[in-house]
């Protein structure tokens, strides 16, 4: 099983990750901190269930271009 997290960068340069299939959401100030927080949140969520084999962090970038 693979979990997919949608990651967005906040205006203050922090990151938020929200799992698309489970009720898991977390944040971090840096990409490295976010990765650690996603692992910790996943471990806590699946503490009494089989854990996923992998975690995918899908970065979403929203950009407005003027014409």
Predicted model pTM:
0.87
Whether 17 is covered by a domain: the verdict is: yes
CATH classification of the domain holding 18 = 3.30.2390
Distances (CA, A) of 37 to 24, 29, 43, 54, 56: 11, 10, 10, 15, 13
Whether 38 is covered by a domain: the verdict is: yes
Whether 48 is covered by a domain: the verdict is: yes
Low-confidence ranges of the chain (pLDDT < 50): none
Predicted local distance difference test score (pLDDT) of residue 55 = 97
Predicted local distance difference test score (pLDDT) of residue 13 = 83
Domain count, the chain: 1
Whether 65 is covered by a domain: the verdict is: no
Percent with pLDDT over 70 in the chain: 100
Predicted local distance difference test score (pLDDT) of residue 21 = 96
Predicted local distance difference test score (pLDDT) of residue 46 = 97
């Amino acid at each position: 099983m693979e979990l997919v997290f949608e990651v967005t960068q906040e205006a203050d340069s922090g990151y938020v990750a929200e799992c698309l299939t489970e009720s898991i959401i977390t944040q971090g100030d840096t990409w490295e901190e976010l990765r650690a927080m996603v692992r910790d949140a996943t471990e806590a969520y699946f503490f009494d269930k089989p854990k996923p084999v992998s975690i995918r962090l899908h970065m979403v970038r929203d950009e407005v271009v003027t014409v």
